């Protein structure tokens, strides 16, 4: 809690407030600004009647409770929902945003054909990994810079903005040169130095939820980005690790309303990494939108059985095209729309 003293409050009035705070067994921290004094009240629990008791003291202008740990991500300091515009695509607005594309960029033909197909079906952003975090070091780890160049070709071809993962501070300059949105993967969601460095680049950041991250930890990770002066953070629920082995991860649908209650940041659902199997992706997509997600990120591949990563959970072009109108119907049912197609 902070007690904001009036301009010109006397030192006797400040001392009176401090004495009252100490009398209650709480600590008072004085912050003497050029124009006014702020008294920080620390202690737990703060009595529920304290605001009223302090407000009536002479010289007090305002008493403000600062309860949330995530000051920038929370509603208290930012009472409007955050919207982020990326090359004309609005995120967090009335329309839900559908991001689609391959898990990994494998070739120009694979990525550009996927970009064309998902755009034709109504997606407004393209995903694709050039630097891939893989569980085994022997698996395909992405094409690196060539992958980024291919994403740019696909953007030029379709007009779709691109999102791609950055895994290490050393790659931020390179990835930032090509990407419209940085993706921070689940494995790096609590890599605080990476979060701070990526924030400084000044482009929007999608922060996946970590493998076993609690909501509060997730929002505090977002706070790391925002505390560097970058307010453009998108959260993405991608399933968490549980005892259940029938799916790759367990989609925590409740995280969508939970996060929305706590934070003004847009929240997306990634049904692909939650499901791990393409058969379940449509149901989880619809569930995410029904729960109020601001968008989805879905893996799509021209030939999933031949994909170099995450083929089992990738939709074919036909499956994605079939899913899109169903997403639109659920979006409409919960008072959202799907965005207008991108013009190149």
Binding site for ligand PEP (CB under 6 A): 103, 129, 133, 185-187, 208, 238, 270, 273
CB of 187 to Mn ion, least distance (A): 12
The rounded distance, in Å, linking the Cα atoms of 323 and 267 is 20
The rounded distance, in Å, linking the Cα atoms of 161 and 181 is 8
CB of 314 to ligand PEP, least distance (A): 10
- Picked from Mn ion, ligand PEP, none, the partner binding residue 338 (CB below 5 to 8 A depending on kind) is none
Site string for Mn ion, 92-131 (x = CB under 5 A): -----------x----------------------------
CB of 253 to Mn ion, least distance (A): 20
Q: Which is nearer to ligand PEP, 37 or 249 (CB)?
A: 249
Handedness of CA 48, 51, 52, 56 (dihedral sign): positive
The rounded distance, in Å, linking the Cα atoms of 318 and 327 is 15
Exposure string over 102-111, b if 16+ CB within 10 A, otherwise e: bbbbbeeebb
CB of 92 to ligand PEP, least distance (A): 20
Q: What is the CA radius of gyration of the chain?
A: 23
Q: Which is nearer to ligand PEP, 103 or 117 (CB)?
A: 103
Q: Which is nearer to Mn ion, 81 or 134 (CB)?
A: 134
Token pair recorded at residue 238: 């991608």
Token pair recorded at residue 163: 């999102």
Distant-in-sequence, close-in-space partners of 279: CB < 8 Å, separation ≥ 6: none
Q: Does the protein bind Mn ion through residue 310 (CB under 5 A)?
A: yes
Which position's Cβ is nearest ligand PEP?
Answer: 185
Which position's Cβ is nearest Mn ion?
Answer: 103
CB of 316 to ligand PEP, least distance (A): 18
CB of 273 to Mn ion, least distance (A): 6
Handedness of CA 315, 138, 239, 242 (dihedral sign): positive
Token pair recorded at residue 237: 């629920």
Site string for Mn ion, 47-86 (x = CB under 5 A): ----------------------------------------
- Picked from Mn ion, ligand PEP, none, the partner binding residue 133 (CB below 5 to 8 A depending on kind) is ligand PEP
The rounded distance, in Å, linking the Cα atoms of 195 and 100 is 24
The rounded distance, in Å, linking the Cα atoms of 72 and 96 is 23
For Mn ion, the binding residues (CB under 5 A) are: 103, 310
């Amino acid at each position: 809690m902070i007690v904001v003293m009036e301009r010109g409050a006397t030192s006797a009035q400040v001392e009176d407030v401090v004495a009252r705070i100490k009398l209650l067994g709480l600590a008072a921290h004085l912050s003497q600004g050029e124009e006014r004094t702020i008294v920080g009240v620390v202690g737990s629990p703060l009595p529920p009647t304290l605001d009223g008791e302090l407000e009536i003291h002479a010289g007090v202008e305002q008493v403000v409770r600062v309860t949330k740990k995530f000051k920038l991500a929370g509603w208290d300091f930012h009472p409007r929902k955050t919207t982020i515009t990326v090359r004309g695509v609005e995120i967090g607005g009335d329309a839900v945003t559908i991001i689609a594309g391959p898990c990994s960029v494998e070739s120009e033909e694979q990525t550009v054909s996927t970009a064309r197909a998902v755009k034709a079906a109504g997606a407004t952003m393209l995903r694709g990994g050039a630097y891939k975090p893989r569980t085994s070091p022997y698996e395909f780890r992405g094409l690196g810079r060539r992958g980024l160049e291919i994403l740019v070709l696909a953007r030029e071809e379709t007009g779709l903005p691109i999102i791609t993962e950055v895994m290490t501070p050393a790659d931020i300059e390179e990835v930032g040169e090509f990407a419209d949105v940085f993706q921070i993967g689940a494995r790096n969601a609590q890599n605080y130095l990476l979060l701070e460095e990526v924030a400084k680049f000044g482009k929007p950041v999608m922060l996946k939820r970590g493998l076993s991250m609690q909501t509060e930890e997730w929002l505090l990770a977002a706070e790391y980005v925002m505390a560097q002066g970058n307010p453009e953070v998108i959260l993405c629920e991608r399933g968490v690790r549980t005892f259940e082995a029938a799916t790759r991860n367990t989609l925590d649908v409740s995280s969508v309303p939970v996060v929305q209650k706590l934070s003004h940041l847009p929240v997306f659902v990634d049904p692909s990494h939650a499901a791990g199997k393409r058969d379940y992706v449509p149901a989880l997509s619809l569930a995410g939108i029904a729960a109020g997600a601001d968008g989805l990120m879905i893996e799509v591949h021209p030939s999933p059985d031949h994909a170099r990563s995450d083929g089992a959970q990738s939709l074919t072009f036909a499956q994605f095209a079939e899913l899109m109108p169903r997403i639109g119907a659920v979006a409409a049912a919960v008072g959202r729309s799907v965005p207008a197609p991108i013009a190149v």
